[in-house]
């Protein structure tokens, strides 16, 4: 009996300790992983009793985890489709909210003999290359956009991601918007049936292939290209301007799309209007259930989101993430109140 | 109470002691423990098959047997077929064996029969080290060393062949290819063939060698006509162990094979394998795609069993031939 009381006391003490320390678990998209690590560790410095963990294991895992209720929140580079929203509602009995956190872009990196400067690509050229219709570097569609550049008459070696990834989702989503043929023949998803090209595993694999193969082209995240000092192309946006991907041109795309952002933030901002917008830009989202049962967790998540939108945004640029434009931040601050 | 205990005591402890004694004396205990070890492994295998079977239900119901003969893999339209992956897995493994078997068996014969013992021990140690290298390292070596090397070696051969190039050696070559995967796999599986075959050759009874030499056979004749045929089953066994490893290899293959889910006729083109596509797509898959990937796992399992079964039949057949001679 005495042993039992001791054990009970120990359990109660442990439970007491746990309630003082609020533990929040999340997982998902790999692209914002470094940003989230930074935020969560900075936030822990300010609020010692709140521990937020994040495992960067892919957008699919984030969506699945938050839907099954094994995670407190998920991270995703892809918006949840209607089927996924319905599945969430069926399993959890409430809806799910999406909050954009930072932004990124997909850039086209290339390795072409004699072309060192800025390669310019039109949407038709990008779609044509990935559909396998433009096969030579001196194709008229490429030459016309690059006057004065000596493009070789070699075959284009096309490289894409072989693993499922948010990067591929953003890129194929863009292609589906600019090319009706891509939309019907291939479509937009984290993994698709690529009409042509070599598959590299992860961004490293794509970068390795592009470096190794002469006359090649591939796509990676802007951050990855910047960190690895890769050359990347300017893309023509819907306003007709060729825009080089940068933190500013990505934020500009979100600002240009801000008016059309719905209240649930489910929007793809690829091919955004505005002459400064880089057309292959994207938000990355935190997925949070509408109703959080544990009041301590609910308060911690709400407080963190408020902090992230106010102080956290300033930490984005040094890590080469594009911060959210003011219009989006204001809209999100209002949306936080929906978390009950 | 104390008195009744003293009267009953002598008989019972004696009987119990004898059972315990018998149990711990070895036979029963070792039977129980080894049975448990075997049973656990079989239970795990059964559980694995059950899980693969039940979780692939969605895909099995939708595609049925067409799954095995369809060559589409389209996650967007959710239309899945396993044929390109089965093809890639079998072709890369076959190519690996084609390269690794002559090298491996040759090396084993040298190490077991011809090399001076000191050299043999040293070399065997190094070869066994090779077997312990993680596969991702082989993949990196493949990307950074082998693929660039192939890009230097292959184009001149292709040019020399010109229009006479056979169909399996034609088309554009970008380095990452079925050929590269086969070569990397062959390097990975050769140590298995060498080290097991060497042990088997060393286990051939001395009497046989002496008898052959006494009959006037040369050392090579003794090795090739007496020792190697005697060790044939063991050597075959080592080859099938290597085959099993190459069928399931994931990391190294996906890094150099090019990950192209279409059936190609040229070794220079890029392909795909079952293990590689599971590793590539499973993390982000859900619903039908996830189910189809699990069914691919089941297919790989069955493929391994089928090839192993075929291997056993082959060993039986060659064994019978050897006996009748």
Distance of alpha carbon B214 from alpha carbon A229, whole angstroms: 71
Whole-model pTM above 0.90? no
- Contacts with B, A 44-63, CB within 8 Å: 57-61, 63
Question: Which residues of chain B does A188 touch, with a Cβ-Cβ cutoff of 8 Å?
Answer: 76
**C-beta atoms surrounding B198 within 10 Å:** 29
Query: How many Å lie between the alpha carbon of B177 and the closest alpha carbon of chain A?
Result: 9
How distant is the Cα of A216 from the closest Cα of chain B, in angstroms? 10
Q: How far apart are the first and last CA of chain B?
A: 79
Distance separating alpha carbons of residues B174 and A46, to the nearest angstrom = 52
Q: Count contacts between A and B (CB, < 8 Å).
A: 83
Chain A contact set for B72 (CB, 8 A): 193
Structure token pair of residue B265: 């006729």
The complex's ipTM works out to: 0.72
Token pair listed for A182: 């891509």
Q: Which residues contact B39 (CB under 8 A, 6 or more apart)?
A: none
Q: Residue A60: its chain B contacts at CB < 8 A? A: 283-286
Give the mean model confidence (pLDDT) for residues B3-24: 57
Cα B145 from Cα B131, distance rounded (Å) = 19
Q: What is the nearest CA distance from B135 to chain A, expressed in angstroms?
A: 15
Instruction: Give the nearest partner residue to A192 out of B76, B175, B259, using CB atoms.
Output: B76
Q: How far apart are CA A268 and CA A279, in angstroms?
A: 11
Please check the confidence at residue A224 and state whether its pLDDT lies above 80.
yes
Q: What is the pLDDT of residue A281?
A: 92
pLDDT of residue B13: 52
pLDDT band, very low/low/confident/very high, at B202 (cuts 50, 70, 90): very high
Q: Which of B292, B286, B91 is nearest to B180 (CA)?
A: B91
Nearest to A193 among B76, B151, B254 (CB): B76
* B45: Cα separation from own chain's centroid: 17
Percent of chain A with pLDDT over 70: 94
Q: What is the pLDDT of residue A6?
A: 60
Residue B10 has pLDDT above 90, yes or no: no
Closest partner residue to A64 (CB to CB) among B74, B286, B289 is B286
A189 to chain B, any CB pair closer than 8 A? The answer is: yes
Q: Are B59 and B67 in contact (CB under 8 A)?
A: yes
Structural domains of chain A, ranges and CATH numbers in brackets: 22-103+284-338 (3.40.190.10), 105-258 (3.40.190.10)
Asked if the C-beta of A193 comes within 8 angstroms of chain B's C-beta atoms, the answer is yes
Q: Is B73's CB within 8 Å of A205's CB?
A: no
Q: Is the pLDDT of residue B323 over 90?
A: no
Answer whether residue B188 shows pLDDT above 50. yes
Is the Cβ of B285 closer than 8 Å to some Cβ of chain A?
yes
- For residue A227, what pLDDT is reported? 86
A209 touches chain B (CB under 8 A): yes
Distance from CA of A3 to the nearest CA of B (A): 31
Residue window 66-105, chain B: list those with CB within 8 Å of chain A.
72-77
Mutate to test the interface with B, among A163, A175, A202, A207 (most CBs of B within 10 A): A163
**B3-12: average pLDDT:** 47
- Is the pLDDT at B275 greater than 80, yes or no? yes
Residue A301, token pair as written in the block: 């998540």
Name which of B174, B279, B284 is nearest A190 (Cβ-Cβ). B284
Using an 8 Å Cβ cutoff, are B107 and B194 in contact?
Answer: yes
Whole-number pLDDT of residue A12:
52
Could you tell me if A135 lies within 8 Å of chain B, comparing CB atoms?
no
Residue A199 sits at the chain B interface (C-beta within 8 Å)? yes
- Mean pLDDT value of segment B155-159: 87
Beta-strand pair A22-28/A50-56: parallel
């Amino acid at each position: 009996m005495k042993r039992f009381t001791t054990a009970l006391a120990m359990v109660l003490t442990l439970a007491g300790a746990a309630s003082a320390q609020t533990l929040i678990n999340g997982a998902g998209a790999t692209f914002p992983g470094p940003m989230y690590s930074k935020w969560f560790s900075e936030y822990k410095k300010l609020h010692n009793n709140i521990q937020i963990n994040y495992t960067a294991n892919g957008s699919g895992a984030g969506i699945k985890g938050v839907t099954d209720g094994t995670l407190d929140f998920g991270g995703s580079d892809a918006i949840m489709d209607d089927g996924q929203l319905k599945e969430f509602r069926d399993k959890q009995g409430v809806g799910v909210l999406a909050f954009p956190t930072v932004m990124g872009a997909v850039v086209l990196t290339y390795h072409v003999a004699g072309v060192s400067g800025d390669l310019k690509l039109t949407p038709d050229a990008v779609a044509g290359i990935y559909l396998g219709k433009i096969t030579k570097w001196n194709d008229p569609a490429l030459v016309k956009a690059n006057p004065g550049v000596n493009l070789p008459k070699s075959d284009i070696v096309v490289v894409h991601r072989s693993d499922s990834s948010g990067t591929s989702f953003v890129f194929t989503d863009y292609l589906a918007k600019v090319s009706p043929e891509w939309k019907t023949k291939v479509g937009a998803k984290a993994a698709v049936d690529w009409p042509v090209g070599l598959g590299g595993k992860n961004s490293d694999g794509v970068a390795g292939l592009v470096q190794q193969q002469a006359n090649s082209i591939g796509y990676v995240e802007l951050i990855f290209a910047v960190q690895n000092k890769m050359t990347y192309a300017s893309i023509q946006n819907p306003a007709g301007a060729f825009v080089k991907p940068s933190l500013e041109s990505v934020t500009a795309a979100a600002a240009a799309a801000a008016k059309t952002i719905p209240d649930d933030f489910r929007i793809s901002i690829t091919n955004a209007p505005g002459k400064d917008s880089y057309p292959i830009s994207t938000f990355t989202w935190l997925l949070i259930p509408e109703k959080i049962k544990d009041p301590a967790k609910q308060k911690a998540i709400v407080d963190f989101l408020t902090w992230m939108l106010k102080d956290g945004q300033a930490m984005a640029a040094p890590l080469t993430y594009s911060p959210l434009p003011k219009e989006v931040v204001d809209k999100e601050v209002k949306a936080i109140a929906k978390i009950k | 109470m104390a008195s009744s205990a003293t009267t009953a005591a002598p008989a019972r402890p004696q009987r119990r002691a004898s059972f315990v004694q018998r149990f711990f004396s070895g036979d029963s205990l070792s039977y129980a423990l080894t049975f448990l070890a075997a049973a656990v492994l079989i239970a795990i295998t059964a559980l694995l098959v059950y899980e693969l079977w039940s979780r692939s239900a969605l895909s099995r119901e939708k595609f049925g047997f067409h799954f095995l003969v369809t060559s589409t893999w389209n996650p967007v339209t959710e239309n899945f077929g396993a044929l390109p992956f089965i093809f890639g897995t079998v072709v890369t493994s076959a190519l690996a064996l084609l390269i690794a078997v002559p090298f491996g068996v040759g090396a084993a014969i040298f190490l077991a029969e011809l090399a001076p013992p000191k050299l043999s021990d040293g070399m065997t140690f190094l070869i066994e080290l090779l077997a312990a290298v993680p596969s991702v390292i082989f993949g990196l070596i493949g990307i950074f060393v082998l693929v660039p090397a192939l890009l230097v070696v292959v184009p001149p051969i292709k040019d020399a062949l010109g229009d006479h190039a056979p169909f399996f050696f034609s088309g554009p070559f970008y380095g990452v290819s079925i050929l590269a995967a086969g070569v990397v796999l062959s390097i990975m599986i050769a140590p298995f063939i060498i080290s097991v075959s060497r042990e088997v050759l060393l286990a051939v009874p001395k009497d046989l060698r002496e008898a052959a030499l006494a009959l006037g056979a040369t050392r090579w004749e003794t090795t090739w006509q007496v020792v190697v045929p005697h060790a044939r089953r063991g050597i075959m066994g080592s080859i099938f162990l290597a085959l099993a490893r190459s069928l399931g290899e994931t990391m190294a293959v996906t890094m150099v094979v090019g990950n192209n889910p279409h059936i190609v006729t040229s070794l220079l083109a890029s392909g795909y394998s079952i293990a590689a596509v599971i590793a590539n797509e499973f993390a982000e898959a859900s619903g039908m795609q996830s189910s189809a990937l699990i069914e691919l796992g089941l297919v790989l399992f069955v493929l391994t069993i089928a090839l192993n079964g075929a291997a056993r039949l082959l060993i039986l057949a060659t064994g019978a031939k050897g006996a009748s001679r």
